[in-house]
Amino acid sequence: MKRIVVSILVSLLSCSFLWGQVQFKVADGMEEGKLKQTVESSLSTLLTEINNACEGNRALNMGILSMTNEAKLSLSMLWENVPFLCTDPIVVERVLKTPAGGYQVRNIPIELVPLDGKDVADDLDQEAVVEFDGRGRIVSFYFGLGVTKYRQVMKAGTKVTDARRRMMILDYVEHFRTAYNQHDINFIRQVFSEDAIIITGKVVQTRKSDVNPYGNVKVEYVVKNKKEYIAALERVFANNKYINVVFEDIRLASHPTKKDFYGVTLKQDYTSSTYSDEGYLFLLWDFRDETHPQIHVRTWQPYWLDDKHEKALPEDDVYDLSSFDLSKFDY
């Protein structure tokens, strides 16, 4: 009932409600001075323009935004998929230093506003992440993990002990997720290695018989190479105006002997214009080149094994770092 009410309100209001100006203030993480003022001004202008564009049902005015051309292109792709707005008139957040020497602001409250009014997302509330270079210019805007999930992974209990590398891995995972929302096939093509393996599971019902009157369910796997996967994904992007991907239950692990290889296991909720599912996503990341990390393995397994959502995939069957032989990767 709650989702129906939200859907009706979105359909009626669309972006017509005037949210007004947004002011961003740095809570901590930066000293008083010109750089802090620049960051506050740049992000305030961006969030205000997002609300004004949403209210006016128009494209973003990129000319007034202090962003790199790459960031403008990325934001426009995200906006074209589904507009959104900032729900708080005043946003106060701390600034984090990034491994690249820039700055990052997380936990910016965003609400997706599908223009056709359809209830196409399980969760319209998102949290945006904005990154700045050393001069306070915006270099990236993307949808991030929830602040609680992010902090949980960044705590010392994770199996990846290097906090700098944990932050870098999470940033790339967030960019990877946003690339699906943006229909950014070029980013996805770049992060997959040329010899990447893509494994997708599908639940199948075995035939009933006199011996087995109820039948059984099992998961069958299809293996694709990078070329096949990218071609299939291009068709998905062409056939779906809207795609929203949400990651939950994130687990990071570093390889015991190959220090630059990491396994990331996530629960993925996928919603598009034509299809939705829940499943486990595993990514094998190679960070030997930190400026150009690569994914060597991507797997997807269904979370539920039945239509009634009563039987889940056993935890022991979920792919992780130990499922794959990395002996071919030498230093």
Q: In the listed set 113, 143, 173, which residue is the last one of a domain according to the structure? A: 143
Residues 123 and 44 in one domain: yes
Residue 163: inside a domain, yes or no? Answer: no
Same domain, 214 and 316: yes
Domain that holds residue 289: 185-323
As for how many domains the chain has, the answer is 2
The 10s digit of each residue's pLDDT in 309-318 is: 888 999 999 9
Given phi > 0 = left and psi -120 to 50 = alpha, else beta, which region is 14?
left
Residue 168 counted as domain residue = no
For residues 326 and 112, what is the distance between their CA atoms, to the nearest angstrom?
40
Query: Which residues neighbour 217 within 8 Å (Cβ) at sequence distance 6 or greater?
Result: 203, 204, 205, 206, 305, 306, 311
Considering the domain boundaries, does residue 161 fall inside one?
no
Residue-wise pLDDT tens digits, 2-14: 444 444 344 444 4
The answer on 229 and 127 residing in a single domain is: no
On average, the pLDDT of the chain sits at 84
Q: What predicted TM-score, i.e. pTM, was given to this entire model?
A: 0.76
Q: What are phi and psi of 40, to 5 degrees?
A: -60, -45
128/197 same-domain check: no
* Residues 42 and 99 placed together within one structural domain of the fold: yes
User: What is the C-alpha radius of gyration for the chain, rounded to an integer number of angstroms?
Assistant: 21
Rounded to 5 degrees, what are φ and ψ at 73? -65, -45
Between 286 and 218, residue with greater pLDDT: 286
Which residues touch 8 (CB under 8 Å, ≥6 apart)? none
Residue keyed to tokens 């792919």: 319
pLDDT in tens, 193-229: 999 999 999 888 666 555 555 457 788 999 999 999 9
Q: Is residue 158 part of a domain?
A: no
pLDDT band, very low/low/confident/very high, at 150 (cuts 50, 70, 90)? low
Rounded distance, CA 326 to CA 288, Å? Answer: 14
Do 112 and 59 fall into the same domain? yes
pLDDT in tens, 136-148: 999 999 998 766 6
Percent of the chain with pLDDT over 70: 83
Asked if 57 and 139 sit in the same domain, the reply is yes
Instruction: Evaluate whether residue 206 is within a structural domain.
Output: yes
Q: The CATH number of the domain where 254 resides is what?
A: 3.10.450.50
Q: Are residues 216 and 285 in the same domain?
A: yes
Dihedral (CA of 190, 260, 268, 173) sign: negative
> What band does 153 get if pLDDT is binned at 50, 70 and 90?
low
